[in-house]
Amino acid sequence: MMRPPDPARSRAVLVGTAEYTEDDLLPGVPAVRNNVRDLQRLLTEGRPGAFSAETTRTVFDPATPRDLGLPLLEAARQAEDVFLVYYAGHGLIGHERRELYLGLAKSVSEAPSFTAFPFQGIREAFLASPARNRVLVLDCCFSGRAITGGLSGTYEPLIEQMEIAGTYTLTSAAANEPARFQDGERHTAFTGELLLALRDGIPSTPSAEVTLGALFRHLRRVLPAKGLPEPQQCGTDTAEFLVLSRPRPRPGRRPVSEAAAGGAPGSREGLLARWDLGRRRGEEGRTGEAMRLLSEVVPDLTRMLGPDDPATLVGRIDLAYWTGREGDTDEALRLSAAAVGDMTRVLGPHHRATLAGQSQLAYWTGESGRYHEALSLASSVLADLSRVLGPDDRETLIGRGRLARWTGEADDPAAAARMTGDLVPDLSRVLGAEDRETFTGRVNQAQWTGRAGGSKAAVRLLTGLVPDVSWALGPDDRHTLLSRSRLAHWSGAAGRRRRARRLFAAAVPDLERVLGPDDRETLLARSQLAHWTGETGQAAEAVRLFGLLVGDIAWVLGSDDRATLVSRARLAHWTGVRGEVGEAIRQFHAVLPELTRVLGPNAPETVENRVLLAFWRRKADRRLKDQIFFGAGPRGGTR
């Protein structure tokens, strides 16, 4: 009975009103923008993915009822299978009939019938739609009065208004409860839990699919347990069995045609042109597009040229690489291992493509955290690369860089610095001074030099590198931006704290603009900016920046990522510096077990933060001595 939408015949309209320009009683809710953007990604991209990107529309900060009503009605009339509407923002209630209105950018809380969007408009759009199923998700509360920390109000239940065949309604709160949001969080409370369930699945269900009914039951369980309002649902017919999330290939994306990529349709040349386009997109830094293009062409290569054709095998190893670069290391490792096994069988263990695949397999082994195993694999394959392809072959030089990387990660940064120092002249001589691999080698040389204790030397190396890469590749190239970020980091490590902060403050907007706000490097730079802001004496601003960052970095990289845990620990430290010692200790006690579990008890980050916790405990024990021994009641503070 469970089924996903038909992407070609379904439509989704995702609406978020984050800014309110006409009424001080309606505070802005910045998290609403992330609600809409992240929901769009989950519904349209990869795993999960239920709607086509071309037929999913986002509407941000509609100012008037027309701005929301027209796109809503257009999509409603086009939808034949599923019509989904999502709204996040303020809910307002009419004065006379107590009907629901959805807040708009120019809404006035005392005049909703003239300045907001009537809920009746959604009902009319649903009635006008020929869609088999109509789905409404509302993340708002139902009052015209806003209070600090929430979207407040009461309303007469609207569920009865949506009794339309094939309709499913999910709301964030009961009739007399406010929806919740908190400044600094990436998402509002209700949508945050909804997105996690769509992205990661529901642990308590045996099925990989996430149906609307299962989603509601999950939210009804986890939200009240966190002190949040209990959601409501109303479903008719079989709408609750609609699947919005399950692991599966990306639907709704039209594959790039061979003609568009530069080849005749159906020809070997056309398929290879599509493969080459995907590879080039990755090299340009557009990793998501590279993965999408290669995931589309590899099945066609397999079907038309055969699974053992060399082009098919190379396409598979390229798909594995860009899958990993897009963030799915485990899948990259799995795809690489499978491709290398087939390459060895078909092409032989010493074929160029096989050796390159083996080198990549070692790389993803290291990226998965198995540094010593990666070091062993990289050392073995480098010997074969040198013997078969020669010491000056591009793959051999890349293999030398990877061997240096895993040498450093396996706790010998000084050796890694020496190895990259020897490699850079060879890269420049063989590939050219302005080749990307040469620039990568120079960045790595600076990194390992700094990690080996030579922060000032790292600054010198990067100061020479940044102008070279900027002129050669352009100021917006990924290599340029990463070089600037590394220079900022090592400047701070070398004691130039204010320069580090200035450099990161300049780099972060460029990283967000070029790589995107959710790119790992952007998030790491934001963490560094917050840290060096604190180091320059602005603890309160550091706490604010870390508070804004922690939700984003946990959502994008995962709660167990090293960067997420380190950012949480830094937030705890600067909270203590700001004067909230008790809160800092509570935060350290929350994050230290996670650091120990994920990184290990002897990891530098774990040891450093254990020392910091002890430091803040000593301060607290002196400052809060009376409260600790006598409690916070009437006897607290007496001697």
Map 170-213 to HEC letters: EECCCCCCCEECCCCCCCCHHHHHHHHHHHHCCCCCCCCCEEHH
**403-420 pLDDT, tens digit each:** 999 999 998 999 999 999
Question: pLDDT at position 593, please?
Answer: 94
Length of the chain: 639
* Token code pair at residue 285: 């830094």
**Looking at residues 551-556, what average pLDDT do you find?**
90
pLDDT at 188 over 60: yes
* Least confident piece of the model among 173-177, 285-289, 299-303: 173-177
Give yes or no for a contact between 252 and 7, defined as CB atoms under 8 angstroms apart. yes
Write down the pTM of the prediction: 0.75
* Token code pair at residue 57: 């529309």
Closest by CA position to 529, among listed 556, 516, 511, 515:
511
Residues in CB range of 111: below 8 A, 6 or more apart = none
Confidence of residue 358 (pLDDT cuts 50, 70, 90): very high
**433-452 pLDDT, tens digit each:** 989 899 999 999 999 999 99
Closest by CA position to 137, among listed 81, 59, 215:
215
* Token code pair at residue 29: 């809710």
Gap between the Cα atoms of 402 and 391, Å rounded = 15
Question: pLDDT at position 277, please?
Answer: 87
Q: Which residue has the higher pLDDT, 69 or 208?
A: 69
**Looking at residues 284-307, what average pLDDT do you find?**
85
**482-531 pLDDT, tens digit each:** 999 999 999 999 999 999 999 999 999 999 999 889 888 999 999 999 99
Whole-Å CA distances, 595 to 40, 451, 556, 564, 598: 32, 21, 18, 10, 5
* Angle, helices 497-514/478-493, rounded to nearest 10 degrees: 160
β-pair type (82-88, 133-139): parallel
Cis ω before 634 (30° cut-off from 0): no
Cis ω before 604 (30° cut-off from 0): no
Buried b (16+ CB within 10 A) or exposed e, 430-451: bbeeebbbbbbbbbbbbbbbbb
